[in-house]
Amino acid sequence: MLNPDLGYVGKIVKANPAPIEALINAGYIPVIAPTALNLYPSNINEDGILNINADTSAGHIAKAVQANQLIFQTDVEGVLDARRRLIPRMTKGQAMDLIAGGIAAGGMIPKIQACVDAVSVVGSGHIIDGRISGALLACVEGEDIGTRII
């Protein structure tokens, strides 16, 4: 679980939707720190809390609570093609091809992977420009904004 570059990190085994659903049902908006308990320490130094990638966590949580949409807000327009143009809509296969071809890179990869993984349960995954005022509401209301992965 020790990654020399990232410290103690883990992979998600399962997400428990009950506490999240309880908060939502009580009228709260859950704010989640993507950490987890290490259930399988290989040595004494690996007990305790592990960091989990926030994008990966969001995808697993969206599936666990059976959300209608998974929406990532970021600092770019959405997923871009090789010419740096916005791709407004793509399939899971097309999204994975962008990763395999090296077109999608860096922090965009876990966002795309989370969307691809989640759309089997969640209706659609979106990557939108969070710098734009009203972008989240527009996306929730079904406007074509950013990239939609289906």
pLDDT at 112: 98
Mean pLDDT of 6-34: 90
Instruction: Select the more confidently predicted residue: 42 or 119.
Output: 119
- Give dist(CA 109, CA 87) in Å, integer: 15
What band does 47 get if pLDDT is binned at 50, 70 and 90? low
pLDDT at 11: 84
Say if residue 2's pLDDT is above 60: no
> Residue 27: what are its φ and ψ, rounded to 5°?
90, 10
Say if residue 103's pLDDT is above 90: yes
Q: Which tokens belong to 126?
A: 């979106």
Say if residue 21's pLDDT is above 60: yes
Instruction: Select the more confidently predicted residue: 5 or 53.
Output: 53
DSSP code at position 140: H
- CB-based contacts of 5: which residues, under 8 Å, 6+ apart? none
pLDDT at 45: 62
Domain-by-domain residue ranges, the chain? 1-52, 68-150
Whole-number average pLDDT of the chain: 92
- Give dist(CA 138, CA 8) in Å, integer: 37
> Residue 2: what are its φ and ψ, rounded to 5°?
-85, 120
Q: What is the CA radius of gyration of the chain?
A: 16
The architecture that CATH gives domain 68-150 is: 3-Layer(aba) Sandwich (3.40)
What band does 129 get if pLDDT is binned at 50, 70 and 90? very high
Mean pLDDT of 65-82: 97
Say if residue 42's pLDDT is above 80: no
Say if residue 116's pLDDT is above 70: yes
